[in-house]
Amino acid sequence: MWTLNDHNWLVEQFEAHRNHLQAVAYRMLGSLSEAEDALQESWIRLSRSDSSSIENMGGWLTTIVSRVCFDMLRARKSRREELATVNIPEPVTSRRDGSDPEHEALMADSVGLAMLVVLQRLNPAERIAFVLHDVFALSFSEIAPIIGRNEAAARQLASRARRRVQGADSSSETAEHRQKRELVDAFLVASRNGDFEKLLTVLDPNVLLRNDTAFVPAANTPVVRGSQTVANQFAGRAQGARLVLVNGSVGAVVAPRGQILFVLEFTVAGGKITGIEMIADRSRLRRLDLAVLNDL
């Protein structure tokens, strides 16, 4: 017979694992509010289960929240919603959905914004297999029933996801690739710090910036020429930008709360940045191949 003591014990068990479950759900879904929905559904399933048969509560809850997230990701896909969420994010002051934007921003940063963006480009099964194995160290025998595949297939999905997620190995970088990477990184650091003089040192005097008019703040300036003008546009304005590989080349992504706002592609020649192209159009963003770039 169900008692209040049973309920209180389940609540204690669930709360003891809440932080871990939230971390799992957030990495899979990329949204704090959706992660909370997944936790709520997991709690409902726990409250309706025979808890006396659960030997490992942490493992059981991880499996349940993973299955819930898998279902949510597939439902997203069936509604033809792109896993790489490229809509302009809602204002960070909005709390109407019950989420905490500041907490979500901190969580996204702890995951790594570039990683979060790339994870959202994987299909549901790839994402579940990769996150559970590579991030949370679950075995493929545990992952397989969650995604409805056999162990070999789960291993293959994680491997395929890993190849898409991982960036260039710094030990195998060419001198040209590394120089571009260092230039773009220096550009982003100077931009974040509002260091106008440093920006001028990495920009070619005749640098050409092509803004995407789909990004409303830049709609009136589709083309910007010259290092002084380009430096003025970027000084102090790349707080959320992170290095990524864009179609195999060093670029940057601006993704508040893990949602892609725009991507920057860079052209380098003679040790200077000679061209920057902003990509904000949704259809173009969906066609980009993004990957995490390892630390310098």
57-114 tens-digit pLDDT: 999 999 999 999 999 998 876 654 443 344 333 333 334 344 555 566 556 555 566 6
Q: Which of 10-24, 107-121, 129-143, 183-197 has the lowest mean pLDDT?
A: 107-121
Do the Cβ atoms of 145 and 128 come closer than 8 Å? no
CATH of domain 4-85+120-165: 1.20.140.160
- Within a 10 A sphere around the Cβ of 18, how many other Cβ atoms? 14
Residues of the chain with CATH 1.20.140.160: 4-85+120-165
What is residue 31's predicted lDDT score, i.e. its pLDDT?
81
Q: Which of 13-22, 106-115, 196-205, 208-217 has the lowest mean pLDDT?
A: 106-115
Residues of the chain with CATH 3.10.450.50: 170-292
Amino acid at 30: G
What is residue 101's predicted lDDT score, i.e. its pLDDT?
56
What is residue 202's predicted lDDT score, i.e. its pLDDT?
96
Confidence at 262, pLDDT banded by 50, 70, 90:
very high
- If DSSP codes are grouped into helix, strand and coil, which group holds residue 203? strand
151-189 tens-digit pLDDT: 999 999 999 888 877 754 544 567 788 889 999 999 999
What is residue 258's predicted lDDT score, i.e. its pLDDT?
67
Phi-psi region at 219: left, alpha or beta (left = phi > 0; alpha = psi -120 to 50): alpha
Share of the chain above pLDDT 90, in %: 50
CATH class of segment(s) 170-292: alpha beta
Q: Which of 19-23, 53-57, 203-207, 258-262 has the lowest mean pLDDT?
A: 258-262
Instruction: Return the structure tokens found at 294.
Output: 């390892």
Q: Which has more pLDDT, 104 or 285?
A: 285
What is residue 106's predicted lDDT score, i.e. its pLDDT?
59
Helices (H), 112-239: 113-119, 124-130, 140-147, 151-165, 175-193, 196-202, 227-234
